[in-house]
Structure 1
């Protein structure tokens, strides 16, 4: 979903799931439920209810959970994967600063950038 920067991510959970529901059916995974992992920014009762209403089993970190894990010596979350991907996308000037007026053009640029990133990763391994 593409919205303004002043909209909190937790407000877009339902729209994101609804708009990407065709992806879940495309993989045709034989399972009773889908799992959705979110960070503590989504720890609201309305988000839990919305995720459940779409048939997902939610794994949402609660606030203060990381402090308990540090005391127990468990492994930290690996959030760098998402941050790294955003950094790769910001390497493309047209995405870093949105110059195009139409949303469809901007989304096309994002998809093209993702394809280029994947191509570079595959080509670098050969």
Structure 2
């Protein structure tokens, strides 16, 4: 790409190459994408309150069940290590994870896989709290950060750093709501 550099007195123009730095196309840290989709998707693992425990970024055309192993592997562990092994860890999944119950079991978690129709019927019961909707609320919190909602970053490292920063801010807001400052 060229631009006008200057004009000579005889009417001719001198062209020079732009000094703009161009990004390399095939970085090793890029998200796996195909030619069909150039977008990215966040996969979240949250606790019962909605605090993010794990974030994995994939191409928008990949199914969520394909990254379940990585999502559970990246989850944060509680700080109380003595009692952690004795606590039963549960994970609520939707119908897209029907064949992935063994992956959750390998990570020491008890999978609860329910289709969407069963949860709609159970809403009519008194005292029912939908479990999968907590993740959708967490996605809504992430989408309130304009820099994350539309991905402008070219590298996966920069986008992951912004996601972790947003997760930290969401976690701090949840803690401040439970324990307000004096």
TM over 0.5: yes
Q: Which has the higher contact order (CA 8 A, sep 6+)?
A: 2
Gaps of 5+ in 2: 1-55
Structure 2: distance between partners of 1:36 and 1:56 = 6
Structure with greater proportional strand content = 2
Root-mean-square deviation (Å): 3.0
Gaps of 5+ in 1: none
Change (3 A) 1:27 1:101: farther
Change (3 A) 1:119 1:99: same
Change (3 A) 1:104 1:80: same
Q: Give the corresponding residue for 2:70.
A: 15
Larger Rg, first or second structure (1 or 2)? 2
**TM-score, with structure 1 as normaliser:** 0.72
Q: Does structure 2 retain, via aligned residues, the 8 Å contact 1:43–1:63?
A: no
Q: Does structure 1 retain, via aligned residues, the 8 Å contact 2:65–2:97?
A: yes
Shift of 1:106: 0.7
Q: Does structure 1 retain, via aligned residues, the 8 Å contact 2:92–2:132?
A: no
Structure 1: distance between partners of 2:172 and 2:105 = 36
Shift of 1:84: 2.5
Structure with greater proportional helix content = 1
Aligned pair count reads 121
**TM-score, with structure 2 as normaliser:** 0.53
Aligned to 1:56, which of 91, 106, 109? 109
Deviation string, structure 1 residues 71-111 (Cα, Å, up to 9, x no partner): 7x362514443222222221222101111111111111112
